[in-house]
Amino acid sequence: MDRRQHRVAGRCTALRALQDYTRLKDRLLDEPDELAWLLVLESLIFSAEAEVRWLDACEPRVARATRRAREAPGTDTPIRATQRTGGGR
């Protein structure tokens, strides 16, 4: 799986979770004894929304960096973070 496929899969997973959390929240809205669970679900919804937004923001940035690396003289592929920094993340 390449990096783009990984980002797309992550986005699909986050969107699926967001839909599940929203359905659960809708079911519990009329339950007065479920305040704590509703608050937890809202937190999960906000986190999933943020992850989707972040993944959407990553896509053009990574595409630009890949294009620049390919256009740079003497390079065939983008420089990986581990090559640039020597780290192994």
Taking only the tens place, the pLDDT of each residue in 29-83 is: 989 899 999 999 999 999 999 999 999 998 889 889 888 888 887 755 555 555 5
Kindly report the length of the chain. 89
Q: How many CA atoms lie within 13 A of 56 on its CB side?
A: 9
Domain-wise residue ranges, the chain: 3-75
- Is residue 75 within 8 A of residue 48, CB to CB? The reply is no
Query: What is the per-residue pLDDT for 66?
Result: 86
Give residue 3's pLDDT. 79
pLDDT reading at 5 higher than 90: no
Instruction: Quote the pLDDT of residue 89.
Output: 45
pLDDT of res. 12: 95
